[in-house]
Structure 1
Amino acid sequence: MSASTPTVLLIGTCDTKLDELIYVHDRLVSQHGIQCKLIDVGRNACAHSSIAITQADIFANSGLPAPSDLKALPRGELISTIIQHTIPLVATLHEKQEIHGAIGLGGSGGSSLCAEVMRAALPLGFPKLIVSTVAGGDVRAYVGETDVTMVHSVVDIAGLNDILCPILENAAGAIAGMAHAQHSRNAQSVPSPTTGMFRSSPGDKRIAITMFGVTTPAVTYARELLSAYSCTTYVFHATGAGGRALEKLAESRYWSGILDLTTTELADDLLGGVLSAGDRRLTAAAAARIPQVVSLGALDMANFGPMDTVPSHYKARNLFKHNPSMTLLRTSPEDCRTLGRQVGERLKNGDPGITEIWIPKRGVSALSVEGESFWDPEADKALFASVKSALHGSKVRVVEIDKDINDKEFVEGVVYRLVDMMGMSKVENQ
């Protein structure tokens, strides 16, 4: 095989899953013509001709002090230690373009190890796949804000059989195809020095936009307006993972500007909903000095699963069955006071020249306009007043518009203000 052949990094604990790892390794090489680097991340070092990166190699090349007695570490500490040492090695392999995809096998511990290494060492867009015993359940802790693909192993990864083998073969085929795509991108594009991701077109400005179903008309029109400018828009669904991804990319200054129309994830974080983005939402752009126009989209709701999963203490609240799998809870005036304070406090130290909050006084979502299920003037009034109170003494500007968030006049206002902050002009002959 030559440099023109993609290489896949195969991550696994060779002391417990060697047979299964070798099975994937051999399928990649013999069936798909892919080079494979098997890295041993187990507690006990293994020796096998297919292992390209041994446990000793990990500790020798991490740049960190090697543990004195790995075998004596408790399980949790062991996994954390191996993760810390593996991340820099894998990051270096990626930076040197020596790998074009990564696949891991594991149970809960092995999946956690693989996922943390992939999330920390490999950028968005780089192929990442894990065959896992836990992939049939809630995988948010593993995927996080990234694009890790998870495949459910159905049976435990503990012996080759007629259920597991086809699944492993499919996973090998999938990562092989992904690696070919990455290999082609490497040959055609120059990666960004800060993230390793590829620019859509040279010179374009990147604008992140947040959206929910109830703010989709606003985002659709915003994208239409922005199409007249030399920029690329990236829409994040405000489902928790979307907000975390936006924040992570803002930390690395990936964005040229942010149109944060939909800050609903704050409500889920406050009320225990299923779409929380954590307590760092709405913080990175201000710290990174990225131009941003922020609104209060869908702060009229927190999200829960099916109706029978809504916590009992919320049963008397205004609930809306969005679909069989999702129930929306209308935020109360008290909730809205807290949410408004959070918005204001997280933005008050932003650069006032490039940070503004726009308030749609006639409704923050399609459900909270007059006549709809979440119409609640008292709650909205509490939200708006709390935002302004939290910004008292700050130079960050608050703009109140007597329209709802999906109204074209409101959307034109936020878009053209962001464009002005970013110093963009319309492209001629658009």
Structure 2
Amino acid sequence: MTNYAVLIGALDTKGIEFRFVKEGLERLGIPTLIIDVGVLDTPLFEPDIRAEEVAVAAGTTLEQLRQINDRGKAVTAMAEGAFQILKRLVSERRVGGVFGMGGTAGTTVGAAAMKAVPIGIPKLLVSTVASGNTRPYVGVKDVTMMYSVVDIAGINKLSRRILSNAVYALAGMVKEIQAESSIQEERVTLGMTMFGVTTPCVTRVREILETRGYDLLVFHATGAGGMAMEELIDAGYIKGVLDITTTELADELVGGIFSAGPHRLEAGARADIPQVVSVGAMDMVNFGQTETIPAQFKDRQFYQHNPTTTLMRTTEEENRRLGTILAEKLNQASNKTVVIFPKGGVSLLDLPSKAFHGPEQREALYSSLKSTLKPEIPFIETDFDINDPSVATLIATTMIRLMEGNSNE
């Protein structure tokens, strides 16, 4: 089956530019497949998948969209249709890479469609909005966004250079993926979560498991990191989880900036894979600069982590609720799950003489977690803090036992 570079764009208004990219990729030996999402007029050249088919995939027709004459509704519909078609092409193993370009509309459609493509397959968006906030377009996908500098409006001296760079970039990524596809990767991939305040623990765990032959993916628990890990679990890419840093639950509960949404810590149970879970950095909720902290928290305890990040200590009640939330999520998992609780501290700040040292908060977290967790899930307690080398060794050997079934580790 041929792996195409799939180009998604409005060939009625951006046909010249998409033809330039198509021809450039084909000169480099990359076959292309064109999806037309134009609504206004006939395409400049014949696509492989016409706009009529895209509209039908979204549950409407091109004629209806033209009659409604609402640009916002048309963009939404064509984005959905492109997503559905690209999802089918992925399932047919026909996608080697994806390309989109345009202003806000073209970027929206291209980015929405790319959500159907697994992490690892190249995705490139040339966009007029790539110099601003790109999170709404990138989400948790590995989308490469290139700022177009000038509008996508014809081929001129500058746009020719920008689009040529994009062609070479996508072609290089696609060819590298094709070359790698012939190499069988034998190492088992595990996912881990980390924060700066749990780095010593995660580093030692990673070193132990890499020596054992595992491939470790470490995710920064900043909301997007947790969501990306969960998506890779659902995709079957990650075969075991060391969820050491579960702080994203605190941001979701209290209203911090690093929430991973209400479904964090659920993918492992769905996939029925081994999980070693701890409570790293649950002593904190994350905010930006001090002036951005909501007024209702003005009397709370804070720590200035850096000029752009302010940490807020979680309270006893919040920890009590966090323990219950964590346990209820893990109760959906099988007996492949183990919880490890470091009673000496959950981060570098939760230590004697440090800013967030809190025995009472830690006890609230411990009690609610232990009492809510179903008896079938092992609950291992240690008197040391999470960054003590013995805790890292315990986490690593527990994961090895779960993965390899060796009770003598």
TM over 0.5: yes
Q: 2:286, 2:46 → 1: CA distance?
A: 47
2:189 alignment counterpart: 206
1:390 alignment counterpart: 372
Q: CA deviation at 1:29?
A: 4.3
Asked if residue 401 in structure 1 is aligned to residue 367 in structure 2, the reply is no
Contact 1:337 1:382 in 2 (8 A): yes
1:127 alignment counterpart: 122
Asked if residue 114 in structure 1 is aligned to residue 110 in structure 2, the reply is yes
1:378 alignment counterpart: 360
Asked if residue 300 in structure 1 is aligned to residue 283 in structure 2, the reply is yes
- What is the letter of the counterpart of residue 381 of structure 1? E
Question: Between Structure 1 and Structure 2, how many residues are aligned?
Answer: 404
Asked if residue 261 in structure 1 is aligned to residue 258 in structure 2, the reply is no
3-state SS, counterpart of residue 115 of structure 2: helix
Q: 1:277, 1:399 → 2: CA distance?
A: 26
Contact 1:225 1:415 in 2 (8 A): yes
Q: Deviations over 1:263-287 (max 9, x none)?
A: 1111222232222111110111112
Q: Deviations over 1:178-222 (max 9, x none)?
A: 122123234x24xxxxxxxxx632xx3322111111111111111
Q: How does 1:53-202 map to 2 (within 5 A)?
A: 53-58=49-54, 67=61, 69-73=64-68, 74-95=70-91, 98-120=94-116, 122-158=117-153, 164-186=159-181, 188-189=182-183, 200-201=185-186
Q: CA deviation at 1:105?
A: 0.9
- Say if 1:155 and 1:311 are closer, same or farther in 2 by CA, change over 3 A: farther
- Say if 1:389 and 1:75 are closer, same or farther in 2 by CA, change over 3 A: farther
Structure 1 runs (4+) greater than 6 angstroms displaced: none
2:349 to 359, 367, 371: 367
Q: How does 1:243-262 map to 2 (within 5 A)?
A: 243-262=226-245
- What is the letter of the counterpart of residue 55 of structure 1? A
Gaps of 5+ in 2: none
Q: CA deviation at 1:104?
A: 0.5
Which piece of structure 1 moves more, 312-321 or 239-248? 312-321
Q: How does 1:314-333 map to 2 (within 5 A)?
A: 314-333=297-316
Q: 1:330, 1:163 → 2: CA distance?
A: 51
Please give the TM-score of this superposition, normalised by the length of structure 2.
Answer: 0.89
3-state SS, counterpart of residue 212 of structure 2: coil
Contact 1:101 1:126 in 2 (8 A): yes
1:8 to 2, 5, 9: 5
- Say if 1:19 and 1:232 are closer, same or farther in 2 by CA, change over 3 A: same
Q: 2:154, 2:141 → 1: CA distance?
A: 30
Q: Deviations over 1:302-329 (max 9, x none)?
A: 2222233222333332222222222222
3-state SS, counterpart of residue 290 of structure 1: coil
**RMSD of aligned C-alpha atoms?**
2.7
- Say if 1:228 and 1:374 are closer, same or farther in 2 by CA, change over 3 A: same
3-state SS, counterpart of residue 225 of structure 1: helix
Please give the TM-score of this superposition, normalised by the length of structure 1.
Answer: 0.85
1:423 to 399, 404, 408: 404
- Say if 1:90 and 1:297 are closer, same or farther in 2 by CA, change over 3 A: same
Contact 2:11 2:45 in 1 (8 A): no
Q: 1:173, 1:57 → 2: CA distance?
A: 30
How many percent identity over aligned positions?
Answer: 40
1:196 alignment counterpart: none
Gaps of 5+ in 1: 190-198
3-state SS, counterpart of residue 180 of structure 2: helix
